[in-house]
């Protein structure tokens, strides 16, 4: 039997955010499978049947875009992104906590702004029926949507981390 207090699990909004982030990461993983399948088909067709595909190279690019931006919120949530830690551990605890919260806020605002712009472009492409410029054209909004998702969801994840950090500071002050 343990005497340590149990921390409650995440509440409804946090679980919903984690669910959407997790589903996006799975979709990103499926994009990696799409890259593998596209290249495998291309190698088979090109080198064994001497009939290269016209679509594989373009689809790999689309899948790569999806893989990166669909997984981006998960990496943000888990702190697996690149971060600059020059001052970490070198500042007084209070100032460091404030700097972390300020960094989360600035990062969230930037991600949400970029996500909003990407969403506007995605909707523009959808409304006007714009296609990609490739041999096998597909609707461009399909390629742009993961970019909007990645930045918007990363911004929300960063805001959630900011709220959690503020909540921990408030609990520590009591």
Domain boundary assignment for the chain: 15-79+90-173
Q: Is the pLDDT confidence value at 16 over 70?
A: yes
pLDDT at position 170: 54
pLDDT score of 5 = 39
- Per the CB < 8 A criterion, the answer to whether 60 and 66 are in contact is no
Q: What is the mean pLDDT of residues 135-152?
A: 95
Distance CA 48, CA 172 (A): 66
CA 88 to chain centre: 25
Tell which residue, 156, 159, 163, 147, has the closest CA to residue 71.
Answer: 147
pLDDT of residue 34: 97
Would you say residue 8 has pLDDT above 60? no
Q: Which two tokens stand for residue 160?
A: 């959630």
Handedness of CA 122, 124, 125, 126 (dihedral sign): positive
Which residue matches tokens 């990696």? Answer: 32
Q: Minimum mean pLDDT among 1-15, 55-69, 75-89: which range?
A: 1-15
Assess whether pLDDT exceeds 90 at residue 106: yes
Q: Does the structure show a pLDDT above 80 at 53? A: yes
65 sits in which H/E element: helix 56-78
Residues in the chain: 174
Task: State the pLDDT at residue 164.
Answer: 83
Q: How confident is the model at residue 19 (pLDDT cuts 50, 70, 90)?
A: very high
Q: What is the pLDDT of residue 4?
A: 42
**Distance from C-alpha of 130 to C-alpha of 44, rounded to nearest angstrom:** 32
> In the prediction, which pLDDT does 67 show?
97
Q: Residue 158: count other Cβ atoms within 10 Å of its Cβ.
A: 23
Show the tokens assigned to 54: 């016209």
pLDDT for the residue numbered 166: 66
| Mean pLDDT value across residues 3-7 | 41
């Amino acid at each position: 039997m343990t005497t340590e207090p149990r921390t409650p699990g995440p509440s409804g909004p946090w679980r919903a955010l984690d669910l959407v982030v997790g589903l996006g990461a799975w979709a990103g993983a499926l994009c990696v499978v799409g890259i593998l399948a596209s290249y495998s088909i291309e190698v088979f067709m090109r080198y064994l049947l001497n009939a290269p595909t016209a679509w594989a190279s373009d689809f790999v690019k689309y899948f790569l875009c999806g893989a990166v931006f669909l997984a981006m919120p998960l990496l943000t949530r888990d702190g697996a992104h690149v971060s600059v830690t020059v001052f970490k551990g070198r500042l007084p605890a209070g100032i460091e906590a404030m700097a972390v919260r300020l960094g989360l806020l600035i990062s969230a605002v930037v991600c949400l702004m970029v996500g909003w712009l990407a969403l506007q472009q995605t909707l523009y492409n959808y409304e006007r029926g714009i296609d990609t410029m490739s041999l096998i054209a597909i609707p461009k909004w399909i390629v742009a949507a993961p970019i909007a998702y990645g930045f918007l969801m990363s911004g929300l994840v960063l805001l959630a981390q900011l709220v959690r950090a503020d909540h921990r500071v408030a609990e520590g002050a009591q």
